[in-house]
Structure 1
Amino acid sequence: MSNSLNTWAPRMLSILRIMAALIFLAHGTQKLLGFPPSDGSPAPFTLSWIAGTIELFCGALLVVGLFTRPAAFLASGLMAFAYWLAHAPQSAFPVNNGGDAAILYCFIFLYLVFAGPGPWSLDALRKH
């Protein structure tokens, strides 16, 4: 059983990257493209608009696994910044301040900086 789990480990890295990126991308499409519908879109060049732009572009790059390490680094930094700017001042506890997702995104994307995109990615295809 251990061998079959080890065989799937690189593929699961790709699946983790794709799924986290799709959900991250949805935050950018909601902010900038109005889908899914929300209360409204941020004014251009505000912090929320800049975050949406990073979520949209880095999310798209991460979904397909292109320039994975730099995109993940930028996305991780954005989520750390978002946590400390928007969530931490509300409470010291992530479960109380709504920052759970920001922390998880931060560390998943930081992991991708070091682990890479996995085999199901455009980065992997570019290496061949």
Structure 2
Amino acid sequence: MDLDLGLLVVRLALGPMLIVHGWNKVFGGGGLDGTTGWFRALGLRFPAVQARVAAATEMGAGVLMTLGLLTGLSSTAFVGLMAVAALTDHRGKGYFVFKGGWEYTLLVAMVAIGLAATGPGAWSLDDALGLDVAGPVWAVVSLVGGIAAAGLLMAVCYRPAVKDAAI
């Protein structure tokens, strides 16, 4: 029971956080137009499509994680999202998030992989529905699948601007 409570607390921290990130991409200050501009500035091709896909993936994976439903698959989405964020917005800024670094993205991805390994606990829809989508294999799936999805997206859609070299 203590473990189940702990897993619920972790899910309630991780899932809603990602839901709000996705919500903000759509309804925050600049809305989808602002997110599209931001993604364009990051060097992502098809930024309007990327903005919508990122927001939908964040909200969808966040809801699944919060509910403890398809935990291994939602963890894979978390890892993919965080890998893309680390490679685009946080790249080259060092480790610490207060300097714009990748500390946050690494932590979120690792916690998601941990949940894929342990499962969401007894207080989850996975447990209620008898779904077995967690464990060591799912932790590897989350890591490898998330990184592979991020790599594919980066290969197809990442074209950062080349900065002029000072002579």
Partner-residue secondary structure (3-state), 1:88:
coil
Matched, 1:111 2:105: no
Distance between the aligned counterparts of 1:110 and 1:56, measured in 2?
18
Instruction: Determine if contact 1:14/1:120 at 8 Å carries over to the other structure.
Output: yes
1:45 maps to what in 2? 49
Q: Which protein shows a greater Rg?
A: 2
* One-letter amino acid of the counterpart of residue 71, structure 1: S
Distance between the aligned counterparts of 2:56 and 2:101, measured in 1?
22
Distance between the aligned counterparts of 1:99 and 1:86, measured in 2?
9
Stretches of structure 2 that go unaligned for 5 or more consecutive residues are: 37-47, 132-167
Instruction: Determine if contact 1:51/1:78 at 8 Å carries over to the other structure.
Output: yes
* Cα displacement (A) at 1:98: 4.1
Instruction: Determine if contact 2:22/2:56 at 8 Å carries over to the other structure.
Output: yes
Partner-residue secondary structure (3-state), 1:49:
helix
* Cα displacement (A) at 1:18: 1.9
Tell me the TM-score normalised to structure 1 length.
Answer: 0.80
Partner-residue secondary structure (3-state), 1:92:
coil
Give CA-to-partner distance per residue, 1:12-54, whole Å, 9 cap, x none: 112101221111110111112x1xx3232234312x3322111
Matched, 1:74 2:77: yes
Kindly report which structure 2 residues correspond to 1:25-64, keeping only aligned pairs within 5 A, or say none. 25-32=19-26, 34=27, 37-41=28-32, 42-43=35-36, 44-46=48-50, 48-64=51-67
Matched, 1:94 2:85: no
Stretches of structure 1 that go unaligned for 5 or more consecutive residues are: 1-6
RMSD: 1.9
Distance between the aligned counterparts of 2:14 and 2:74, measured in 1?
13
Distance between the aligned counterparts of 1:103 and 1:23, measured in 2?
15
* One-letter amino acid of the counterpart of residue 101, structure 1: Y
* One-letter amino acid of the counterpart of residue 45, structure 1: V
* One-letter amino acid of the counterpart of residue 87, structure 1: H
Partner-residue secondary structure (3-state), 1:113:
helix
Partner-residue secondary structure (3-state), 1:87:
coil
Give CA-to-partner distance per residue, 1:39-75, whole Å, 9 cap, x none: 32234312x3322111011111111111111111121
